[in-house]
Amino acid sequence: MTPNAFSTDSSANRLIPNAIPMPHRASPSSKAQQAAATQADPRWAAVLARSAAAEGSFWYSVQTTGVYCRPSCAARTPRPENVRFHASCADAEAAGFRPCQRCKPRQPTALSHHAALVTEACRSIESAESDKAVTLDTLAAGAGLSASHFHRIFKQATGLTPKAYAAAHRAQRLRNALNGSPTATVTDAIYSAGYPSSSRFYEQSAQVLGMTPSRYRAGGTALDIRFAIGQCSLGAILVAQSERGICAILLGDDADALVRDLQDRFAQAHLIGGDAAFEALVAQVVAFVEAPGLGLNLPLDVRGTAFQQRVWQALQAIPAGQMASYAEVAARIGAPTAVRAVAQACAANALAVAIPCHRVVKSDGALSGYRWGVERKRKLLDLESLPSSPSDHASASATVENAA
């Protein structure tokens, strides 16, 4: 019995309950409105999915329990009308909520602990002598984990396996050796970068450098790149092709600016204006821009880091007419914490529409920055939402035949 909950009726010498104020009860209509607002918030989807990728981006509280939780909390999912979202633990506590005892939102997460272990492992890989690669077992022992467990968390944090990360770092050392030691032989650069044999390296030189080592050292000299400029509903479009495939699709308002961009990318290459056959290929790309449902079946010369290429492959897996958030792409490549790196990889993409970075949006569905302008991003998404007509297919088929 709480103090002052009752008073005495002296005339009858008995206790009667005092008037105790009842808590405010929300009307059914306001509950429905709050539930609708919560369900429309993209953070609610993260709560339903118990998304570890959303850790640190927000916290949510439950009015009926008085606690606040991480997005990944394993507690029973609350009713949406009882949920409120907060930008920090301090905000949730200022609103009168206490930390959940199950997910302990104020304590460091296992994910952050794993990130520290992976960072240390990356430094070990990078500092190892070129002829002494660090093994998975050594890295796992340093982290105090089993090899399989360490392999899994390393890939989750970086998007790469330890072996792929080491290969990417070795390739970077080779680039540095070729660029920084003009008097050293190519063979010396190959061995100093940590490749066990020159024959093993030359088997994968196209994937590592995009060209032979001697051509790379010369800055792409003698590399022939054909290009042509066309017009589409997005403005000017430049298409360039190396001997390996399409190496650039650039969009803009100024055709001269697009050519200068291409020259900056391939400063030592021979840029050759396209002939009639190449212009037919440009027409095929333009047809794909106007009717994305047709697809673009052309070889691509994709140049980027191992992580960038992993992101770009994930982008190509997003169907036309659909979108994914940066966080979703990061999760798909097994690196849920690398959201910022995913955004940077999208910004580095030089193959507009072929690698569809325009299909990546913010977590709330808003259109974020796009290398060729947000309006072009909106226009591309609008075009992809339209069904392709039979005439579009006929036009594309004719273009392919002409290009052949």
Rg of the chain, C-alpha, whole Å: 29
Residue 32 to residue 27: CA distance in whole angstroms: 9
Q: Which of 69, 122, 247, 346 is catalytic?
A: 69
Instruction: Characterize the bridge pairing of strands 246-252 and 235-241.
Output: antiparallel
CA of 169: how far to CAs of 172, 201, 335, in Å? 5, 14, 18
Residue 240 to residue 69: CA distance in whole angstroms: 51
Nearest one of 111, 105, 109 to 93, comparing CA atoms: 105
The overall longest dimension of the chain from CA atoms, in Å, is: 111
Q: Decide if 103 is catalytic.
A: no
Q: φ, ψ for residue 189 (rounded to 5)?
A: -65, -40
Structure tokens belonging to residue 296: 């673009």
Q: Decide if 69 is catalytic.
A: yes
Q: Which of 100, 103, 122, 357 is catalytic?
A: 357
Helix (H) or strand (E) holding 158: helix 147-158
What strands, in cross-sheet order, belong to the sheet with 224-232? Answer: 246-252, 235-241, 224-232, 270-273
Q: DSSP strand E in 186-267: where?
A: 224-232, 235-241, 246-252
CA 335 to chain centre: 9
Active site residues: 69, 357
